[in-house]
């Protein structure tokens, strides 16, 4: 899809996109004139700059990389962890792709961002040249009590934000990554029932529609993930068309594969590089 560049990654530039509901999405762009476009989609509670590792990796390989903060996240507008409509995140991604690319893109999504990226790729396969999913949020399994609570909150208080329950100590084995996450003022721990419903229903829908996947996909799974069950990724890979998904399971690694401790991090990036080279 693009050649390898030995030069260092360019410094990111800040960018903005205003949506029809006047919400302003803010993000970063690592410009590489003439390079194939890549869009990186971050996870719940974090922001685009936390995906700097993968963005810079792609930029060094000649990609022109864009990464936006979701609404309700980072520097973008919106109440923390909230949506106005259940499909806001997928629609926002569609607008980002439309505004930044004129050719099929490389789409990279992590965790909740992996779910958003997958939902988008299933709906708009003609705009995606290749899809990379890192620890995607594809396990909709909830206990009976959690299902009842979500149903009640969705009906009575869909916009009430509560703690998302993510255990920051389990994102990576690298203490520096955990410390930076905890000290990052742009990271939050909020989630509303509307956003939780999008994740649960969206994951179920994506797995049910796996047979429709029309995009070459690299599925990176943390074998010891403590935040997202690997079972959802396995179910999706099993239901996808044969040969469409290249699944890599990293036993012993935790959720943030691109931010894991060494030597795991180098192994993950090495596999990504080999996979991208095969797509050229």
Residue positions annotated with a catalytic role: 111, 225, 255
Distance separating alpha carbons of residues 19 and 70, to the nearest angstrom: 12
Length of the chain: 280
Distance separating alpha carbons of residues 197 and 185, to the nearest angstrom: 26
Closest CA to 190 of 110, 25, 78, 88: 78
User: Hey, CA dihedral for 259, 263, 266, 271, is it positive or negative?
Assistant: negative
DSSP-assigned states of every residue in 243-280: TTEEEEEETT--S-GGGPPTTHHHHHHHHHHHHHHHT-
Distance separating alpha carbons of residues 26 and 263, to the nearest angstrom: 33
- CA-CA-CA-CA dihedral for 195, 125, 97, 234, to nearest 10: 40
């Amino acid at each position: 899809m693009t050649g390898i560049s030995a030069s260092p990654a360019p410094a990111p530039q800040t960018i903005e996109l205003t949506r029809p509901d006047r919400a302003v999405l803010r993000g970063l762009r690592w410009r590489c004139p003439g390079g194939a476009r890549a869009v990186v989609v971050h996870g719940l509670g974090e922001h685009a700059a936390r995906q700097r590792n993968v963005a810079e990796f792609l930029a060094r390989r000649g990609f022109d990389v864009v990464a936006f903060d979701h609404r309700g996240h980072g520097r973008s507008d919106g109440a923390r962890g909230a949506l106005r409509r259940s499909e806001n995140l997928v629609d926002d991604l569609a607008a980002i792709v439309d505004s930044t690319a004129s050719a099929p893109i490389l789409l990279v999504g992590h965790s909740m961002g992996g779910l958003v990226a997958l939902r988008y790729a299933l709906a708009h396969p003609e705009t995606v040249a290749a899809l990379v999913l890192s620890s995607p949020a594809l396990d909709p399994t909830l206990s009976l009590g959690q299902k009842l609570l979500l149903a009640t909150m969705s009906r009575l208080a869909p916009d009430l934000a509560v703690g998302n329950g993510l255990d920051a100590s389990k994102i990576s084995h690298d203490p520096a990554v955990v410390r930076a996450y905890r000290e990052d003022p742009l990271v939050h721990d909020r989630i509303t029932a509307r956003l939780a419903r999008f994740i649960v229903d969206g994951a179920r829908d994506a797995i049910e529609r796996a047979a429709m996947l029309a995009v070459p996909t690299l599925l990176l799974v943390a074998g010891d993930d403590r935040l997202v069950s690997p079972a959802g990724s396995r179910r999706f890979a099993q239901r996808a068309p044969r040969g469409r998904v290249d699944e890599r399971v990293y036993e012993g690694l935790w959720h943030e594969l691109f931010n894991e401790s060494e030597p795991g991090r180098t192994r993950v990036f090495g596999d990504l590089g080999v996979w991208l080279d095969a797509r050229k």
